[in-house]
Amino acid sequence: MQIGIVGLGRMGGNIAVRLTRHGHDVVVYDRDPSAVEKIVARAEGGRATGASGEADLASKLQGPKKVVWLMLPAGDITEQAVKTFGDLFGKGDILIDGGNSYYKDDLRRAAALAEKGIDYVDVGTSGGVWGLERGYCMMYGGTPAAASHIDPILSALAPGKGDVPVTPGRDKESLDPRAEQGYLHCGPAGSGHFVKMVHNGIEYGMMQAFAEGFDVMKSKDSPLLPENERFPLNMADIAEVWRRGSVVSSWLLDLTAEAMAKNGELSEFSGQVQDSGEGRWTIEAAIEESVPVPVMTAALFTRFRSRTGNNYAEKVLSAMRFGFGGHVEQKK
């Protein structure tokens, strides 16, 4: 299957390469020509073709349905790309937003494109910089017909069952077998990004709990405590032992252990933790629904506070964000 990829950053470029490894052809475009050259060179079996712009990319797509995947930052740049392809595409074509757009923007875009007969699919994509090898967990929304058409693309990007044990009771007809493969059609347009938004809100809370726990343990050697109550604990060793059979074992803990093994003090991180928007949107949705989310709210507010002064906990957060997504702290 052939697909266009716009935006060849940390995730977009790897998505393009992974698709070529699974036998799909990609036409790729990025505002940075060198990024296009690098992906064409990395692609498997010469399956990537570079494009000089959106119109050039659209012209190079063959077949009855043109499909383009946008992997761009949420906001104006994605908004403009949707408008551009809305003008370039025709009835039956499919436009995918695989970034972290706000789900209410998806509702508006899908309605506008539907008037032209263009299908809009929102794909919440999780996997960060590791997705090329591990695959991407995807939550997507759109019409059943559009979802069915792009299934070969999503199947190739998904991690598959791997060695994750089968969940007992999943043999019911009401449960979607694609979920076991790591991708799921959540419902109409907007639902994919909504589920991914909440996923990231949960991520904030999980990361914060780890960060605070390690901070409490590191501070156990504080001179503020009675001498006989001080423990000089090794954070790297604790993170490692928790990976082995503990109920809190997880990929986030794996990344934390890796960062601490390199430098237990995490001195390369300032602890100024950014937020990419999904945490705020999740809390806004919770307010609209009158659902209490105290953990996620506190986690978001802690990120705000980290930019005015921080401690070891925020360095742990920074280490995890760099580990799974390659997020580099913003310099003052």
**Residues designated catalytic:** 196, 203
Taking the C-alpha atoms of residue 175 and residue 79, their distance in angstroms, rounded to an integer, is: 34
Taking the C-alpha atoms of residue 60 and residue 3, their distance in angstroms, rounded to an integer, is: 10
Tell me how long the chain is. Answer: 332
- Return the bridge partners of 126, or none: 137
Q: For 81-103, give one letter per residue: b (16+ CB within 10 A) or e.
A: bbebbbebbeeebbbbbbbbbbb
Hey, what's the torsion of the CAs at 204, 205, 208, 212, to 10 degrees? 180
SS3 139: strand
Instruction: Find, among 13, 27, 15, the residue nearest to 55 by Cα.
Output: 27
* CB distance 155 to 128 below 8 Å: no
> Cα 65 from chain centroid?
27
- Return the bridge partners of 125, or none: 138
R_g over Cα of the chain? 22
Taking the C-alpha atoms of residue 57 and residue 50, their distance in angstroms, rounded to an integer, is: 8
Hey, what's the torsion of the CAs at 243, 249, 251, 254, to 10 degrees? -20
What stretches of the chain show up as alpha helix (H) in DSSP?
A: 12-21, 33-42, 54-60, 76-88, 103-114, 131-134, 144-149, 151-157, 191-218, 235-242, 251-262, 278-289, 294-306, 312-325
